[in-house]
């Protein structure tokens, strides 16, 4: 214990002696500094008190390693970038869409300032409902800036549509109408009605005859719905119409007169009379008046045809006219034989206008009836002569003057006032026939 105490005393003494010497040396150093003599302190860098700034160099602390004395020293040059800036001051405030400016001063030197741009903040989008959507109408939503209030965009909010509750029947179906049901929107309370199911239709009873129908008048019947007696249907029973028996001809029609026919209803006995049109000849034959082939007495069983042929005397100069007869009974025109100085020409004319239409024109002159080897006009077409063609009687017939005109043409024939009926057995016609028979050999 005592030994340690003695050591401590020795150290303390040495330190005091050193301190005394450094103090003395300091006094001497001050003097030496003024006389540019070096101090006796042994300075050691301890720490930096303050860094160099925009106006002053750095200040460092040194400590004497002998006596512990300290000394501050300004060392180096000032740092132009080592400002000690104060708080920023706003020159022009920034907005959401425009930038601003700010500045600050160095606390070490107020002449040192710094400016900076404050970036625009940009909008702060915030949503708000302007109009609330309903079941049937749209709403409106706005996006606006919470900082400046500017409306950025708008958006339509779709209608929400109804939220319908369950259907409830309010009317049952009837014969003629469907049922009815209703439901309501659970949001807005709107009520909607709609048909329900289909009409049931009538359940008709049997028909009851009110008036029976006849041949010419309608009847009437009615029936009642078994489901609802107020529903009555009335219907017309159509007239049955006559049940006609067969037609019975009471007068035959001919070319000159209409006929008559009648029939009788088997239900009511009513008689109906109807005219029968006059007959027409769609394919009649036109011949010049004279004996009929079938009735020729000179040549028994010569032909079964009714065609007429006309014997004439070619020795007589002048004109000989004969009637043109269609279908053996209707005079439709005239044919004329002109004989002059040994020459013969044939001409004819027709009556009735459009009532007669010739489909085949044919006539010739022969020596004898026996030359009629064919009894259809087409069969003698190679002997056809032309209208008003001059024929030399001597050259063609060798002086024979008892000749035969064979005129047979086809035609369609309808009734006309211009036509007359041929009276074949009249006195005049019989006399002419006798003269013709006398010429036949």
pLDDT tens across 224-278, in order? 999 889 999 999 999 999 999 999 999 988 877 889 999 999 999 999 999 988 8
Q: Which two tokens stand for residue 289?
A: 């008046």
Tell me the average pLDDT across 323-333: 93
Q: What are the strands, taking DSSP E only, across 277-401?
A: 281-288, 310-313, 318-326, 330-340, 343-350, 356-360, 363-366, 391-392
Q: Which two tokens stand for residue 53?
A: 């700034």
- Specify whether the CB–CB gap between 41 and 22 falls below 8 A: yes
Checking if the pLDDT of 1 tops 50, the result is: no
- Specify whether the CB–CB gap between 387 and 344 falls below 8 A: no
Tell me the average pLDDT across 170-197: 91
Nearest to 307 by CA among 289, 319, 334, 330: 289
pLDDT at res. 149: 87
In angstroms, the CA 41 to CA 166 distance is 108
pLDDT above 70 coverage of the chain, percent: 89
- Specify whether the CB–CB gap between 239 and 216 falls below 8 A: yes
Q: What is this structure's pTM? A: 0.45
In angstroms, the CA 328 to CA 292 distance is 9
Checking if the pLDDT of 9 tops 50, the result is: no
Q: Which two tokens stand for residue 65?
A: 């390693």
pLDDT above 90 coverage of the chain, percent: 53
pLDDT tens across 53-71, in order? 888 888 999 999 999 999 9
- Specify whether the CB–CB gap between 244 and 270 falls below 8 A: no
Q: Indicate the DSSP class of residue 396.
A: H
Tell me the average pLDDT across 79-103: 89
pLDDT at res. 299: 65
Give the DSSP H or E segment for 101.
Answer: strand 100-105
Q: What is the per-residue DSSP string for 214-246?
A: -SSS-EEEEEEBSS-TT-EEEEEE------B--
Q: Which two tokens stand for residue 292?
A: 């009929």
């Amino acid at each position: 214990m005592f030994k340690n105490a003695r050591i401590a005393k020795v150290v303390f003494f040495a330190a005091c002696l050193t301190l005394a010497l450094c103090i003395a040396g300091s006094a001497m150093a001050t003097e030496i500094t003024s006389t540019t003599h070096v101090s006796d302190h042994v300075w050691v860098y301890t720490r930096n008190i303050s860094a160099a700034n925009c106006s002053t160099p750095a200040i460092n602390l040194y400590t004497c390693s002998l006596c512990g004395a300290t000394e501050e020293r300004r060392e180096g040059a000032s740092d132009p970038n080592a400002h000690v800036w104060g708080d920023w001051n706003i020159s022009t405030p920034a907005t959401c869409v425009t930038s601003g400016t700010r500045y600050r001063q160095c606390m070490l030197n107020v002449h040192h300032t710094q400016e900076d741009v404050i970036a625009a903040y940009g909008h702060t989008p915030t949503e708000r409902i302007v109009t609330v959507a309903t079941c049937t109408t749209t709403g409106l939503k706005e996006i606006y800036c919470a900082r400046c209030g500017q409306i950025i965009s708008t958006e339509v909010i779709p209608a929400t549509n109804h939220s319908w509750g369950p259907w409830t029947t309010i009317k049952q179906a009837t014969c003629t109408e469907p049922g009815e049901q209703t439901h309501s929107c659970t949001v807005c309370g709107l009520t909607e009605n709609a048909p329900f199911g289909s009409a049931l239709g009538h359940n008709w009873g049997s028909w009851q005859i009110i008036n029976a129908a006849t041949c010419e008048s309608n009847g009437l019947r009615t029936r009642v719905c078994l489901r609802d007696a107020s529903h009555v249907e009335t219907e017309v029973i159509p007239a049955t119409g006559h049940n006609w028996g067969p037609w019975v001809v009471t007068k035959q029609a001919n070319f000159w007169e209409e006929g008559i026919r009648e029939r009788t209803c088997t239900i009511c006995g009513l008689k109906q009379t109807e005219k029968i049109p006059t007959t027409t000849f769609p394919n009649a034959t036109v011949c010049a008046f004279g004996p009929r082939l079938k009735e020729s007495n000179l040549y028994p069983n010569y032909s079964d045809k009714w065609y007429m042929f006309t014997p004439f005397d070619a020795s007589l100069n002048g004109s000989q006219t004969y009637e043109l007869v269609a279908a053996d009974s209707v005079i439709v025109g005239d044919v004329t034989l002109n004989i002059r100085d040994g020459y013969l020409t044939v001409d004819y004319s027709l009556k009735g206008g459009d009532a007669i239409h010739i489909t085949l024109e044919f006539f010739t002159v022969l020596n004898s009836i026996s030359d009629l080897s064919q009894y259809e006009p087409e069969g003698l077409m190679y002997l056809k002569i032309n209208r008003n063609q001059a024929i030399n009687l001597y050259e063609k017939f060798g002086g024979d003057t008892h000749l035969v005109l064979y005129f047979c043409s086809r035609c369609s024939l309808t009734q006309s006032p211009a036509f007359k009926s041929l009276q074949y057995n009249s006195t005049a016609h019989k006399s002419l026939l006798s003269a013709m028979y006398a010429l036949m050999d």
